[in-house]
Amino acid sequence: MNTTFRELHQPGNPFILANAWDIGSAKVFAALGAKAIATTSAGYAFTLGQKDMGDITREQSLNHAKDLINATPLPVSGDLENGYGHSPEEVAKTITLAAQAGLAGCCIEDSKLPSSEPYAFDFAVERIEAAVETSKALDQDFVLAARADGVMNGHYDTDEAIKRIRAFESVGADVLYVPLPPSMEDLARICKSVNTPVNALAAGSYAKYTVSDFAKIGVARISLGSAMARVTHAAIVKASREMFGEGDLSSLVNGISGADVESLFDKL
């Protein structure tokens, strides 16, 4: 029997949610063993030459998600920012449209985009409650992750993040997510503070840890965010600076062959 997207979320036995930025990256992840795909708002924005933090519209995001859904047989979760609207009603509408697009779930954050400032506590909870009510009324299973981004954005501390995710849990969120708390000890405290599966972000200082390290503290899901997209852009920037600045083309010898890339596509 195939494991559902929801069933992948096992505290202490985390899977990697592979954030893809285009059809090709989604196919490569799937061919190499990913169990589920997610969109990345920043990674997708980079492909359009745009900035993250609210530059992408709901229609663009969902059309992009459909491309990834059609690219592989894996479940896809959407990075849907703040739900593309401030009001609970707009968040609810986004959940409905996300499900219609074929997404298996999504993340909704508490940042007042395009600002990084968080919504007030009560309003943040009201928004997640509207998302939960809509997701539970769907004709399909939909895994809703509620994000508390204020620690990552420097607007509140871990205690406030825990207060928020506990409230998100109380209104029915399926997954809880505090990106980049100050330390692994803080992340462990976050996991212990709730009974709902916790998502961790493998970026910044957290990229030095292994899946086993995250498992030991009770994480259920590890997102890549825009990390892989930025690794790709780092390679582009390095090679470009050497080529256009120094006339050095040697970085080009490090690429994977076209045949090897195509062979991965053929596995699906």
Q: What is the pLDDT of residues 56-114, one digit of tens each?
A: 999 999 999 999 999 999 999 999 999 999 999 999 999 999 999 999 999 999 999 99
Predicted pLDDT of residue 70:
97
What are the CA-CA distances from residue 110 to residues 40, 72, 128, 244, 246 (Å)? Answer: 17, 30, 9, 41, 45
Q: Is the pLDDT of residue 265 over 70?
A: yes
Q: What is the pLDDT of residues 197-226, one digit of tens each?
A: 999 999 999 999 999 999 999 999 999 999
**For 9-226, which CATH superfamily applies?**
Phosphoenolpyruvate-binding domains (3.20.20.60)
Cα 1 vs. chain centroid, distance in angstroms? Answer: 26
> Per-domain residue ranges for the chain?
9-226
Helix, strand, or coil (residue 184): helix
Tokens of 17: 């949610």
Q: What is the pLDDT of residues 236-262, one digit of tens each?
A: 999 999 999 999 999 999 899 999 999
152 vs 175: CA distance, rounded Å: 18
Q: Which residues contact 123 (CB under 8 A, 6 or more apart)?
A: none
Predicted pLDDT of residue 52:
81
Which of these, 72, 75, 76, lies nearest to 267 by C-alpha position? 72
